[in-house]
A and B are shown apart, each in its own frame.
Chain A
Amino acid sequence: MKLKYNNRQKFEPILPDHIEWPVVKMSKNRDAFIKEVADSTFQYIKKIRPNSSLLIQELETTRHLEKLRLQKEPWEVDPDDEVAFWQKVKSELMEISGKSETGNKEDEILQRILHRYASEIAGNFKPSYYQFTRKVVTFGFARLLNASQSRLFSGLFKGDRTLRDKIRIRGYTDEIRELAKKGTIVMVPTHFSNLDSILIGWVIHELGLPPFIYGAGLNLFNMSLFAYFMNSVGAYKVDRRKKNHIYLETLKAYSNLAIQKGSHSLFFPGGTRSRSGKIEKKLKLGLLGTALDAQRSVLKENPDKKIFIVPVVLNYNFVLEAPSLINQYLERKGQERYYIDTDNYTSSYKIVKFLFKFFTKPAEISVTIGHAMDLFGNYVDGEGNSIGKLGQRIEPKDYFVKNDSISVDKQRDEEYTRLLSQRIIQEFHKFNEVLPSHIVAFVAYLLFRKQFVDLDLYSFLRLPEDELTLDFKLFKENVSSVAQVLHELESKDKILLAPEFEKPLDELVNIGLNNLGMYHAKRPLLLNEEGEVITQDLNLLYFYHNRLVGYNLDHYV
C-alpha cells in the first residue's frame, strides 16, 4: 500500500476556538489540577506504604536522593529555595523518626513534597503565547526558505515556499483528525533529535489539531529558546535527575489524569533520543502505562470514552546531534570510558545557526502518521472502534473484565503495556520511510564493513577513513539490489519508501549522496576525484546506516 502525501492539503482546525482546547481548559484550572494530581498520588503512596514507619522510610530515601541530586547535578532552572526546602524536610523527619506518636506529621510532609513536585511538573500553557510562537515560527521559517531560494534579500519578503515543502507529511492524517474529535490521542513518535519536539508541535498544528501536552526534559528549559517553545505548546516538565519513587508516581499521576481529562498527549516512548540511529527496539513503559491506567479509569465511567495510540515516524537526512549521539552509543556499548553527557545543543546560538542552515538548504524531513491503535495494539476504525485480527469488533473494556466487571490488576496492566510497546515498535518499522540518504549510507557502510570482516565493530570503526574506498559501480549495483528488496517489503506493508525511489537509479544515488548528513563538518559519504565512494567519518556513516537495521537486509549487500 502506498500511503499518500498531503503536501498541499490544507487542514482546517478541528477546534477553531481555543477556549475548547483541552490543554486550555486544563491550564485554566491549573491549581485545582495540581491539587488533584498531588491528592491522587498521596492516596497511592499511602496505599503502598500503609504505616507510619514505612512512609517515613520512603520520605527519608527521597530526601537522601534529592540531597545527592542537589550536590551532584545542580541546574540553572532549579528553584532558589530547593536546598532550604529539603533542609526543612530533613529536620522534620529527624523529629518524628523512631517515635511511636508522630501526629501524622509524615502525611503532611508527603503532601508538601507532592504539591511541590506537581506544581513543578505542571505546564503553564498560555493561548496567546502559543499563537505568537506559531506565527513567529511560520513566518520566520517561511521567510528564510524563500530568501534562500531567490538568494536575494528581497526574497525575504515574497515567495510562497512554506515549511510544507521541507517537511513531507504522509499517512493516516484524516484518521487522526477524526479520532481527535472522538477520543483522546496519545501520539508516540520515534526520537532522534531535540528538534523532534518542535517539529511535532508544528505537525500537530498543521494537521489542524489542538496543542498536545507533552513531557519535555527539564534540561531543555535550561535554554531560553527551547523554554519559550516548550511553555507555549503545552509542555509539562520531566526531570530525569529525579529518580525517586514519589516523584515518578507524581509524574505518572499527572500524565494519567491529564489523559483522563481528554488532553491529547505526546510521549517519546523511547525515553531519550536514539543514540545509535536505530529505530527504537525497547520502549520505556512508565508513561505508556499511564495511558493504559487512564483508559481503564475512564472506561469505568463511560465505555465509549477511548484513548488512541498513534505512532509517528520521523526521518531526517541530517541529524544535528548525530556525531555526539553515536559517540555516546559507542562509548556506552563499548564501555570504554565513563559516559559524559555532552551535546551539540549547548546554546541557543548553535540552534539558530542550525535552523538557518536547515532552512536555507534543501533537505527534506519526512513525517509518517501511523494507523491509530487502541491500548492493546488493535487497529481502530474511523469511528474509533477496535477491530480484532478476524475483523471482529473488540471492546477495550473486555481486557479489564474479571468476573463480569472491570478489575484493577497492576501486573496484568504492566503486561498489556509491554505488549503495546512491542506493537508500537512493529508499527515504527512499518511506517518508517526510507530516504535516499538512508539506503546509500546502509549499502556503503556494509560494503566497507565487508572489506574487514575479521575486525570487531570497534576496531573497524577506528580504522583511518582514508583506508576506505569503494568502487562506484559496485556501490550502485548494491544500492539497486537493496532498493529492489525494499520495494518488495513496501508491497508487503513492512516499510515505506520516499518518492525518490521511483526515480532512475543514478538519480536516487545522487540525491542520497548529496543529502546524507549534508551539514556535518565531516561528511559521512562523498565521491573523491577518482569517482570512488569515500567517507570522512565512519562513525557517522554507521549512525545513518543503523536506520535500516532490523529488516534483515544485511545479506543483500
Chain B
Amino acid sequence: MSEKPIGVIGAGSFGTTVANLLAENSQVIIYARSKELLDQMRTKGTSRDYLLHKNVTPIDTLEELATRADIIFPVVSSSGFRSMMKDVAPYLYPYHTLIHGTKGLDVLLPEGTSMDDPDVIINRDNVKTMSEVILEESAVVKVGCLAGPNLAREIANKHPAATVVASRFDSVIADGQKLLRNDRFQVYGNKDLIGIELTGVLKNIIAIASGALSGLGYGENARALLVSRGMVEMIHLGKALGGNTEAFIGLAGIGDLIATCSSNLSRNFTVGYRLAKGESLTEIIGSMQEVAEGINTIRIINSFAKYYQFRAPITEKLHQVLFGEATMEEALQYLMKIPLNVDIDFL
C-alpha cells in the first residue's frame, strides 16, 4: 500500500495490537523505550505475551521512526506522553500525521507542585488531552485519535471489532481508515476530536466502578444502573472539557463503556474489582504490568470538578475509596441515595 512504513510508538499491549492491525495492510516500524522489550521483539518475535506480525520491525530510536514514517501512532501511557512528545518533537514536521491511542489526560503543574498538594489548581488551562499535548509540543497539526471498544486480547484473538478515528482533518480520518480497516476490523470516522478523546478517558472512571460492583458480587441490574448514570456523568464532564454530547452516544462512548464495564480483560475494571475485594491501591498498582489510566483520571477529574464547582458524584466517591477515605460499600450506599430523579437532562 503506502511505500513509507507506518510508525508506532509504544509496545504495550494496545501499542502492539495497533501495530499488528496496521501490519495487515502496511510495513510497520515500532519503537519502545525499553531495550529489553526491543530485544525480545527481535529475538522472539513477541511483545509482552503478544505475537508480533511479521511486517512489524522494531527500531531503536525515535529519530529513525520519525524520519522514515510520515504517519505515526503514539500509544504510550498518559503519564509518559508529554515527555515522549518532547523526545520525538525535534524530528517532527508539519507533514507528519499523528494518531494516538492513549486514553488518559495530561496535567501540567507548576515546578515543585504535585497532584497531592491540597490546594493544587486543576482547570482547563492545565488539563490537556493527548491531541492537545501533541499540538503544544511539536510542529505537527494533523492530529487524530483512536477510541472505541478495543480490548487488546480480543483483537489479538482475531475477534470482530470496530474503532473510531477522530480528527478535525478529513484526510487524517481517511488515512486511519485506510490503514486500519480489514475484514474483522471496522473503522468509523468522527470530526469531534476532543469529544472522542474524552469518551475514552472518562469511561475508565465508570469501568473502575463497574469492576467494584462485580467485586461486591452484584449483578446486571446494578451494572445497568451504573452504566446509564455513569454515561450522564461522562457527558456532563465531557461538555465541560469541550466535547459534544454526540461523541458519547456512539461507538467510542457507549460502545466502549459497555465493553470495559463488562470485561475482566479491562485493567480499569480489574482495579475496581480488586479494590472491592479489599486490596489497597498500592498493592494493586504494584502487581499490574501496565498502567490503569482510570486511577489517574479520577484524581484529575475530582480536582477539576472541584475547581468548576460541579457535581460528579461517581468520580468523587471513587476518589474517596481510592485514597482510603471511604470503603467501596459506603460509596455505593451513598450513590444509591442521591436524589437523581431526572433521567436524561443532557439532550
Residues of A within 8 A of B323 (CB): none
Instruction: Please tell me if the beta carbons of B139 and A415 are within 8 angstroms of each other in the complex.
Output: no
Instruction: Please tell me if the beta carbons of B171 and A398 are within 8 angstroms of each other in the complex.
Output: no
Q: In angstroms, how far is the closest chain A Cβ from the Cβ of B341?
A: 29
Q: In angstroms, how far is the closest chain A Cβ from the Cβ of B114?
A: 24
Which residues of A, 242-260, contact B by the 8 Å Cβ criterion?
none
Q: Known contacts A376-B141, A412-B171; decide if A392 and B95 are in contact (CB<8 Å).
A: no
Q: CA of A416 to CA of B170 in the docked complex: distance in angstroms?
A: 12
Q: In angstroms, how far is the closest chain A Cβ from the Cβ of B83?
A: 15
Residues of A within 8 A of B2 (CB): 403
Residues of B within 8 A of A415 (CB): 168-169
Q: What residue of chain B has the Cβ atom nearest to residue A389's Cβ?
A: B139
Which residues of A, 388-425, contact B by the 8 Å Cβ criterion?
388-390, 392, 394-395, 398-399, 401-403, 409, 411-412, 415-416, 419
Q: Would you call B334 an interface residue if the criterion is a C-beta within 8 Å of the partner chain's C-beta atoms?
A: no
Q: Which of B86-94, B177-185, B222-230, B292-300 contacts A (4 or more CB under 8 A)?
A: B86-94
Which residues of B, 121-149, contact A by the 8 Å Cβ criterion?
136-139, 141-142
Q: What residue of chain A has the Cβ atom nearest to residue B91's Cβ?
A: A392
Q: CA of A13 to CA of B308 in the docked complex: distance in angstroms?
A: 54
Q: In angstroms, how far is the closest chain B Cβ from the Cβ of A396?
A: 8
Q: CA of A523 to CA of B50 in the docked complex: distance in angstroms?
A: 76
Instruction: Please tell me if the beta carbons of A401 and B95 are within 8 angstroms of each other in the complex.
Output: yes
Instruction: Please tell me if the beta carbons of A411 and B170 are within 8 angstroms of each other in the complex.
Output: yes
Which residues of B, 77-101, contact A by the 8 Å Cβ criterion?
89-90, 93-95
Instruction: Please tell me if the beta carbons of B141 and A392 are within 8 angstroms of each other in the complex.
Output: no
Q: In angstroms, how far is the closest chain B Cβ from the Cβ of A422?
A: 11
Picked from B95, B138, B141, the residue with its CB within 8 Å of the CB of A419 is: B141
Q: CA of A403 to CA of B142 in the docked complex: distance in angstroms?
A: 14
Q: What residue of chain B has the Cβ atom nearest to residue A418's Cβ?
A: B168
Q: Known contacts A389-B138, A416-B141; decide if A399 and B169 are in contact (CB<8 Å).
A: no
Q: What residue of chain A has the Cβ atom nearest to residue B172's Cβ?
A: A412
Q: CA of A378 to CA of B138 in the docked complex: distance in angstroms?
A: 12
Residues of A within 8 A of B94 (CB): 376, 394-395, 398-399
Q: CA of A108 to CA of B263 in the docked complex: distance in angstroms?
A: 66
Instruction: Please tell me if the beta carbons of A402 and B171 are within 8 angstroms of each other in the complex.
Output: yes
Instruction: Please tell me if the beta carbons of B93 and A394 are within 8 angstroms of each other in the complex.
Output: yes
Instruction: Please tell me if the beta carbons of A392 and B171 are within 8 angstroms of each other in the complex.
Output: no
Q: Known contacts A388-B139, A389-B139, A399-B141; decide if A412 and B169 are in contact (CB<8 Å).
A: yes
Q: CA of A411 to CA of B89 in the docked complex: distance in angstroms?
A: 25
Q: CA of A390 to CA of B90 in the docked complex: distance in angstroms?
A: 7
Which residues of B, 153-184, contact A by the 8 Å Cβ criterion?
168-171
Q: CA of A378 to CA of B141 in the docked complex: distance in angstroms?
A: 12
Q: Known contacts A376-B141, A398-B95, A401-B95; decide if A392 and B168 are in contact (CB<8 Å).
A: no
Q: CA of A15 to CA of B93 in the docked complex: distance in angstroms?
A: 36
B95, B137, B142 — most chain A CB neighbours (10 Å) = B95
Interface size class of B (residues with CB under 8 A): 10 to 19
Residues of A within 8 A of B170 (CB): 409, 411-412
Q: CA of A415 to CA of B168 in the docked complex: distance in angstroms?
A: 7
Instruction: Please tell me if the beta carbons of B169 and A411 are within 8 angstroms of each other in the complex.
Output: yes
Q: CA of A396 to CA of B89 in the docked complex: distance in angstroms?
A: 17
Residues of B within 8 A of A411 (CB): 169-171
Picked from A390, A394, A409, the residue with its CB within 8 Å of the CB of B171 is: A409
Q: In angstroms, how far is the closest chain A Cβ from the Cβ of B97?
A: 9
Picked from B137, B139, B142, the residue with its CB within 8 Å of the CB of A394 is: B139
Q: CA of A415 to CA of B193 in the docked complex: distance in angstroms?
A: 13
Q: CA of A401 to CA of B140 in the docked complex: distance in angstroms?
A: 13
Residues of B within 8 A of A416 (CB): 141
Residues of B within 8 A of A399 (CB): 94-95, 141
Q: What residue of chain A has the Cβ atom nearest to residue B2's Cβ?
A: A403
Q: CA of A389 to CA of B89 in the docked complex: distance in angstroms?
A: 10
Q: What residue of chain B has the Cβ atom nearest to residue A378's Cβ?
A: B139
Q: In angstroms, how far is the closest chain B Cβ from the Cβ of A7?
A: 37
Q: In angstroms, how far is the closest chain B Cβ from the Cβ of A377?
A: 9
Residues of B within 8 A of A401 (CB): 95
Picked from B93, B136, B138, the residue with its CB within 8 Å of the CB of A398 is: B93
Q: In angstroms, how far is the closest chain B Cβ from the Cβ of A77?
A: 40
Which residues of A, 352-386, contact B by the 8 Å Cβ criterion?
376, 378
Residues of B within 8 A of A419 (CB): 141
Q: In angstroms, how far is the closest chain B Cβ from the Cβ of A339?
A: 30
Which residues of A, 69-107, contact B by the 8 Å Cβ criterion?
none
Q: CA of A415 to CA of B137 in the docked complex: distance in angstroms?
A: 19
Q: CA of A411 to CA of B138 in the docked complex: distance in angstroms?
A: 22
Instruction: Please tell me if the beta carbons of A390 and B95 are within 8 angstroms of each other in the complex.
Output: no
Q: In angstroms, how far is the closest chain B Cβ from the Cβ of A393?
A: 10
Residues of A within 8 A of B137 (CB): 389
Instruction: Please tell me if the beta carbons of A392 and B139 are within 8 angstroms of each other in the complex.
Output: yes
Q: CA of A412 to CA of B137 in the docked complex: distance in angstroms?
A: 21
B90, B139, B169, B170 — most chain A CB neighbours (10 Å) = B139
A389, A411, A415 — most chain B CB neighbours (10 Å) = A415
Q: In angstroms, how far is the closest chain A Cβ from the Cβ of B113?
A: 19
Q: In angstroms, how far is the closest chain A Cβ from the Cβ of B78?
A: 21
Q: In angstroms, how far is the closest chain A Cβ from the Cβ of B245?
A: 22
Q: CA of A366 to CA of B122 in the docked complex: distance in angstroms?
A: 37
Q: What residue of chain A has the Cβ atom nearest to residue B3's Cβ?
A: A403
Q: CA of A409 to CA of B168 in the docked complex: distance in angstroms?
A: 13
Q: In angstroms, how far is the closest chain A Cβ from the Cβ of B94?
A: 4
Q: In angstroms, how far is the closest chain A Cβ from the Cβ of B176?
A: 14
Residues of A within 8 A of B142 (CB): 412
Q: CA of A401 to CA of B137 in the docked complex: distance in angstroms?
A: 21
Q: CA of A403 to CA of B169 in the docked complex: distance in angstroms?
A: 16
Q: CA of A401 to CA of B89 in the docked complex: distance in angstroms?
A: 18
Q: In angstroms, how far is the closest chain B Cβ from the Cβ of A494?
A: 13
Q: CA of A415 to CA of B89 in the docked complex: distance in angstroms?
A: 22
Q: CA of A419 to CA of B171 in the docked complex: distance in angstroms?
A: 16
Q: CA of A543 to CA of B298 in the docked complex: distance in angstroms?
A: 43
Q: CA of A419 to CA of B141 in the docked complex: distance in angstroms?
A: 9
Q: CA of A398 to CA of B142 in the docked complex: distance in angstroms?
A: 11
Q: CA of A415 to CA of B142 in the docked complex: distance in angstroms?
A: 10
Q: In angstroms, how far is the closest chain A Cβ from the Cβ of B204?
A: 29
Q: CA of A401 to CA of B171 in the docked complex: distance in angstroms?
A: 12
Q: In angstroms, how far is the closest chain B Cβ from the Cβ of A57?
A: 26
Given A403-B2, A411-B171, A415-B168: 17 more A-B contacts, CB < 8 Å: A376-B94, A376-B141, A389-B138, A390-B90, A390-B138, A390-B139, A392-B90, A394-B93, A394-B94, A395-B93, A398-B95, A399-B94, A399-B95, A402-B171, A409-B171, A412-B170, A412-B171
Q: Write the residues of chain A forming the contact surface with B, with a CB cutoff of 8 angstroms.
A: 376, 378, 388-390, 392, 394-395, 398-399, 401-403, 409, 411-412, 415-416, 419
| CB-defined A-B contacts under 8 Å, sample of 23 | A376-B141, A378-B139, A389-B137, A389-B139, A390-B89, A390-B138, A390-B139, A392-B90, A392-B139, A394-B139, A395-B93, A398-B93, A398-B94, A398-B95, A399-B95, A402-B171, A409-B171, A411-B170, A411-B171, A412-B142, A412-B170, A415-B168, A415-B169
What are the 5 tightest A-B residue pairs by CB atom distance, in nearest-first order? A398-B94, A401-B95, A398-B95, A411-B170, A399-B94
Q: Write the residues of chain B forming the contact surface with A, with a CB cutoff of 8 angstroms.
A: 2, 89-90, 93-95, 136-139, 141-142, 168-171
